[in-house]
Every structure is written in C-alpha cells, then in structure tokens.
Amino acid sequence: MAGQQLDLFAIDRINAELKGSPAQPPVRAVELTDAALITAIPDAGVTAAPRLAAEASRRRLAGAVPPLEKLCRRLTGFGADRLVPEQLAALEALANIGGEAARQAIGRLVAQRIVQGPTLAAALNAAARLGSSLPPSRLGEFLDDADPTVRVAACRCVRSAGPYQRVLIELLDDPRSEVAFAAAVALGRIGRAEARPLLMGLLRREPSAEIVDALARIADEEVIVTFGRVARAMPDLAQPILDALDQLEDFRAARVATALRARGSPRSGFA
C-alpha cells in the first residue's frame, strides 16, 4: 500500500453528491465577473467545475490559480480507477494559465499525491508543460508505474540526468513503444547517446520536431546527414532542423545548413 493512495470514496461520487445536496441552477461561466468566477471555482460540482475552469483558462486568469488548486485538493482520495473531471479540468486550466504560481501549484498537487489513478498522467503532462519541479523520489516512482501513460508522462518531466538515467535506459526496451519513444526523447534531451539508435529510426520513419530537438543534443555525423535528407523531403521540418544545425558547433552541420538555405527559404518549401 505504500506509495498508493486509497480511493476512499469508491462509491458513485456523482450520485452521492446529487442525493446529498439540492439541485443547483446551471452556472453560465461566461457571464461571471472575474471575482465571481474565482469565488465559484473551489466548491464547484462535477457539472459546473469544467465550465468554470475552462472560462478561467480562456481568460488566462492568474487569480484563479489558488482556487483551481483548492478544487483539486477538495477531491483528494477520488479517482484510483477513473478520471476525476473536476481535477482534469483544473489541471488543464492551470497549464493554460501558466506562470510561476501555476507551475508551483501543479508541482505540489503531484508531489503531495492529490491526484492519482488515470488523472495522474494528466497532472504529469501539465507538470512537463510548465516545467514544474518534482521530488526525485516521486518522479522515480512514476517512471516505474504500472500504467504506461504515467510512464510516458513521467519521461516528459525529466529535466536532468540525476538519478533517472539508468531507469530511462531500461525504458528503451519497454514493451510499450510509446514509453520507449518517450524515454529516448528524454535521454536525448539530457545528452545521453544511448537513445541515438532508437531516435534515428524514428527520425527516418516518423520524423517530428520533438525528435529533431532530442537528437540535436547527441548529434553525430550520421544524424547531421540525416537531418539534411529529412529537411529536403519534409519542408515543414526544415526550420526546426536548421535551428538544430545552427546550434551545433560542427563544420559539417554548418555545411548542411548552408546547402539547405541555398535551396530556398524553409517557408517556400526547399524545392
């Protein structure tokens, strides 16, 4: 049981709420003032909370960060085996609002086990998006989680080698391809060449800006040459590849970048 949070209310929470409280009129979030919206968020129910959180997100309402965190905390103990809609909406709003307060709020929600089960992956993705700081011991748990969506999201949260590189290298052989891909990207970004073979295969089969960015940190001659070929074949990736080549202090990278630019502007398609 250590490291796992019990689903204290495994009964049907929604039906319990409906039976235990009088019906509330629907909330028209768009009509609320900022102050009224902020006040309504922490105690909102399963129907109103997503609408209120979405409106706070749309307004990029920094003052809504504490109430959104409070909303998540109010539901601590729910969701061991199901998504918690209120928490999910609050996490998305926090990620969209952004800023230091939201970054720290998401870090606390993850570190203190406020979210669990299927909602945990969403919290980790929000943490990765904002660069939230997570305790190494907690992040290590997530990298070894039984749920592959949590392992993928945890890989995205890795910011430095620290104690994680051994686990990430092991995840290159994960039976779930999406986990192995996420581990390879994380390893590339922290400069570990063990990820290069897998990333090179992905660059040739399924190139993307994310793969280019990860390979740029561990580029060798083969990577540089392949960058040039991919840029010529896929104009949409030409600019990310040029940016990666420009960051490399390598005469071969400079030569490939010059040749690509000679073919035309990335925006015109490298005809």
pLDDT over threshold 60, residue 259:
yes
User: How many domains, the chain?
Assistant: 3
User: Residues 37, 107: one domain?
Assistant: yes
pTM for this model (two decimals): 0.83
What pLDDT does 162 receive?
76
Final residue of a structural domain among 198, 218, 238: 218
What is the domain range of residue 271? 223-271
CA gap 262, 86 in Å, rounded:
52
Contact 158, 136 (CB under 8 A): no
User: Residues 199, 124: one domain?
Assistant: no
Does the residue 153 lie in any domain?
Answer: yes
Does the residue 11 lie in any domain?
Answer: no
pLDDT-above-70 percentage for the chain: 87
Transcribe 196-218 into DSSP letters: HHHHHHHHHHS--HHHHHHHHTT
What pLDDT does 79 receive?
85
User: Residues 181, 249: one domain?
Assistant: no
Q: How confident is the model at residue 1 (pLDDT cuts 50, 70, 90)?
A: very low
Q: What is the pLDDT of residues 96-113, one digit of tens each?
A: 999 999 999 999 999 999
User: Residues 197, 233: one domain?
Assistant: no
pLDDT over threshold 70, residue 176:
yes
pLDDT over threshold 50, residue 90:
yes
Does the residue 6 lie in any domain?
Answer: no
CATH number, residue 214: 1.25.10
* Token couple for 253: 């990278």
Contact 250, 219 (CB under 8 A): yes
Does the residue 60 lie in any domain?
Answer: yes
Does the residue 254 lie in any domain?
Answer: yes
User: Residues 240, 257: one domain?
Assistant: yes
Q: How confident is the model at residue 264 (pLDDT cuts 50, 70, 90)?
A: low
Q: What is the pLDDT of residues 38-73, one digit of tens each?
A: 999 999 999 999 999 999 999 999 999 999 999 999
Segments of the chain assigned E as strands: none
Final residue of a structural domain among 185, 202, 218: 218
- Phi and psi angles of residue 86, each rounded to the nearest 5 degrees, phi first: -65, -45
Final residue of a structural domain among 72, 102, 132: 132
Q: What is the pLDDT of residues 182-216, one digit of tens each?
A: 999 999 999 999 999 999 999 999 999 999 999 99
Contact 198, 180 (CB under 8 A): yes
